[in-house]
Amino acid sequence: MSHNIQTSPLVFGNRQVAVSTAARWLTPGYSNATAPTQRIDFPAPRNGYVQRLRVRHGVARANATILTYTVRVNNVDKDLVVNLAGNAQSGADLDLDHGFTILAGQLIAIVVTKAAEIDTTPLNITASLEIV
């Protein structure tokens, strides 16, 4: 039996997200730099349904302050959100409950926010999504 479900993974990531409460934007692909404060959009490669946001801190070394990772499309927040403590590599790191329809060319971004400053930033942060 053959399944014709086409899945396109999208990956975003940065070496770190800084300690301040300024919103940071994960880089499409991966960058060894600190996540910038300017939005970085990635055009959706095709029409589909975006789901399964997963976030991982490669090195969890911050305090327990929650970092919120939110998917945005055309600069509008979507319900695809992960809240992950700065001192956790994983845990509540996967949103399987939400998703949305997207059209090819619409602009996808992932913003990172913090309610309070963290004492040190987690390292090697990656976030992935699926388009099916």
Question: For the segment 6-50, what is each residue's pLDDT rounded down to a tens digit?
Answer: 888 999 999 999 999 999 999 999 999 999 999 999 999 999 999
Looking at residue 33, which CATH number applies to its domain?
2.60.120.380
The pLDDT value given to residue 116:
93
Against a cut of 0.75, is the pTM above it? Answer: yes
Please check whether residue 15 lies inside any domain of the structure: yes
Please check whether residue 47 lies inside any domain of the structure: yes
Count how many domains the chain has.
1
Please check whether residue 77 lies inside any domain of the structure: yes
Please check whether residue 2 lies inside any domain of the structure: no
Radius of gyration of the chain (CA): 14
Could you list the residue range(s) of the whole structural domain that residue 77 is in?
8-131
